[in-house]
């Protein structure tokens, strides 16, 4: 096999190109397709070289790298979490990611992952709920109505069958924004005055808040038998949403236990606190919900395999739609041992100018 020069130039999918792609294909189609990829990849869990993400913490936030690979493809995501960013006009979470060819190490895709992360997180949440929530779940409390909330709403509507949302956010403007955005969705939207009120009568409770603190978003006295809790926002050390008594009262499911014990709501619990990895339920190796009265918790922190699955969907869809452009991030060398030669040659001309370079 000979590689062409162009083969070292990855496809670049910008944020506007990703928006274009999702508008063309429809959001619910994209979330469903990403969910299918995640489910398929979780079923071959042991094919992947997995590690807890690498986090650099600072006073106001964290920057993380999330690599994963199987025998053929490698991916990583860069993602930050800075809750104070919204006050500066910036997003709390910004992300981009890369796919690469394991056989050669060449990057094949450089993509935005801010929009795509919102879709893959919602897809994962909905997949978990499809497996863990009571099948007759129709009402969901949505606590935290920020950047990711609408994606959760659409995913639960189309993949789980949710028809009614009970909404609460400490910022009423965030809730108003969600209501406006989802006016045409067909979902029944009920604005509530508190978390406690929103949770009343809910079959599923989704918490997707951004505070970088051990916030008590949900406590055990708000729970009802049979609830499924989708805890999305507690996703780094020192950042939790559930009190310990919620976790004690429930059967708890996670993505990748070594990472979740550091970052998830279960960081509050002893190291031997029992959790089930979601892939084990998908694969039929472990039980999900044991009975209709049990409270289940999906303590989601976001795992690299979900980004791998989402990036592969976006890559294939962009190629199919002819979206994106090539990025000259890697030098295209006629002779790979002659990197220095790129400095000597004018573009398009073989004439050497060693004086200029060596001067």
Nearest to 307 by CA among 159, 116, 81, 33: 116
Looking only at residues 316 through 335 of this chain, which bind a copy of itself when binding is defined by CB under 8 A? 327-333, 335
Q: How far is the CB of 184 from a copy of itself (least distance, A)?
A: 4
Is 272 tagged catalytic? Answer: no
Single out the residue of 54, 316, 319, 321 in contact with a copy of itself (rule: CB under 8 A): 54
- Sole window of 124-132, 159-167, 213-221, 347-355 interacting with a copy of itself (rule: CB under 8 A): 347-355
| Residues 6+ positions from 258 with CB-CB distance below 8 Å | 52
> In the complex with a copy of itself, which residue's Cβ is closer, 14 or 268?
14
Given 45, 57, 139, 179, the residue binding a copy of itself (CB under 8 A): 57
> Is 151 an interacting residue with respect to a copy of itself (CB under 8 A)?
yes
Helices 114-132, 27-43: inter-axial angle, 10-degree rounding: 70
Binding region for a copy of itself (CB under 8 A) out of 127-135, 211-219, 228-236, 351-359: 351-359
H runs (alpha helix) in the chain: 15-25, 27-43, 114-132, 149-155, 172-181, 195-199, 244-248, 257-263, 278-282, 304-321, 341-344, 354-358
Q: Work out whether 115 is an interface residue with a copy of itself (CB under 8 A).
A: yes
Residue number, 105 or 201, with CB nearest to a copy of itself:
105
Q: List binders of a copy of itself among 75-114 (CB under 8 A).
A: 76, 78, 80-82, 85-86, 88-92, 94-96, 98, 100, 102-107, 110, 112, 114
**Cβ within 8 Å of residue 26, ≥6 positions away:** none
Contact 252, 320 (CB under 8 A): no
Residues in contact with a copy of itself, counted by CB under 8 A, come to a total of 102
> Which residue is catalytic, options 169, 235, 265, 299?
235
- Contact segment (CB under 8 A) with a copy of itself among 58-66, 212-220, 266-274, 312-320 equals 58-66
Is residue 77 within 8 Å of residue 111, measured between CB atoms? Answer: no
CB of 336 to a copy of itself, least distance (A): 4
Residues 167, 175 contacting (CB under 8 angstroms): yes
Task: Name the minimum Å distance from CB 351 to a copy of itself.
Answer: 13
Backbone angle region of 292, left / alpha / beta, with phi > 0 → left and psi within -120 to 50 → alpha? alpha
Binds a copy of itself by CB under 8 A, chosen from 28, 196, 262, 273: 28
Please pick, from the candidates 134, 143, 150, 236, the single residue that binds a copy of itself as defined by CB under 8 A.
Answer: 150
Binding piece for a copy of itself, criterion CB under 8 A, among 24-32, 159-167, 265-273, 309-317: 24-32
CA distance 147 to 118: 8
Alpha-helical segments (H) within 234-303: 244-248, 257-263, 278-282
Which of 293, 294, 298, 306 lies closest to 68 in space, CA to CA? Answer: 306
Q: Does 358 bind a copy of itself (CB under 8 A)?
A: yes
Residue length of the chain: 359
156-185 positions binding a copy of itself, by CB under 8 A: 171, 173-174, 177-178, 181-185
């Amino acid at each position: 096999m000979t590689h062409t020069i162009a083969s070292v130039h990855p496809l670049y999918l910008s944020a506007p190109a990703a928006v274009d792609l999702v508008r063309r294909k429809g959001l619910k189609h994209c979330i469903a397709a990403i969910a299918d990829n995640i489910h398929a990849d979780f079923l071959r869990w042991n094919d992947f070289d997995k590690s807890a993400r690498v986090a650099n913490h600072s006073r106001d936030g964290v920057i993380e790298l999330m690599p994963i690979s199987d025998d053929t493809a490698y991916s990583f995501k860069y993602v930050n979490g800075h809750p104070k960013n919204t006050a500066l006009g910036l997003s709390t979470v910004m992300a981009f990611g890369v796919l690469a060819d394991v056989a050669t190490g060449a990057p094949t895709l450089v993509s935005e992952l801010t929009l795509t992360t919102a879709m893959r997180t919602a897809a994962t949440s909905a997949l978990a709920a499809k497996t863990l929530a009571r099948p007759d779940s129709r009402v969901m409390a949505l606590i935290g109505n920020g950047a990711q909330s609408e994606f959760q709403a659409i995913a639960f509507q189309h993949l789980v069958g949710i028809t009614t949302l009970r909404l609460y956010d400490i910022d009423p403007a965030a809730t108003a924004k969600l209501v406006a955005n989802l006016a045409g969705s067909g979902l029944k939207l009920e604005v509530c005055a508190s978390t406690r009120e929103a949770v009343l009568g809910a079959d599923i409770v989704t918490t997707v808040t951004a505070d970088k603190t051990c916030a008590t978003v949900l406590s055990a006295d708000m729970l009802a038998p049979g609830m499924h809790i989708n805890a999305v926002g507690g996703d780094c050390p020192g950042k939790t949403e559930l009190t310990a008594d919620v976790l004690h009262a429930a059967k708890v499911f996670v993505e990748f236990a070594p990472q979740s014990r550091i970052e998830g709501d279960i960081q509050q619990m002893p190291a031997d606190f029992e959790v089930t990895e979601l892939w084990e339920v998908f694969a039929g190796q472990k039980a999900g919900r044991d009975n209709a009265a049990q409270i289940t918790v999906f303590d989601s922190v976001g795992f690299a395999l979900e980004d791998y699955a989402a990036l592969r969907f976006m890559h294939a869809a962009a190629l199919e739609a002819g979206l994106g452009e090539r990025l000259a991030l890697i030098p295209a060398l006629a002779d790979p041992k002659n990197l220095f030669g790129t400095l000597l040659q004018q573009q398009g001309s073989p004439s050497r100018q060693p004086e200029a370079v060596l001067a």
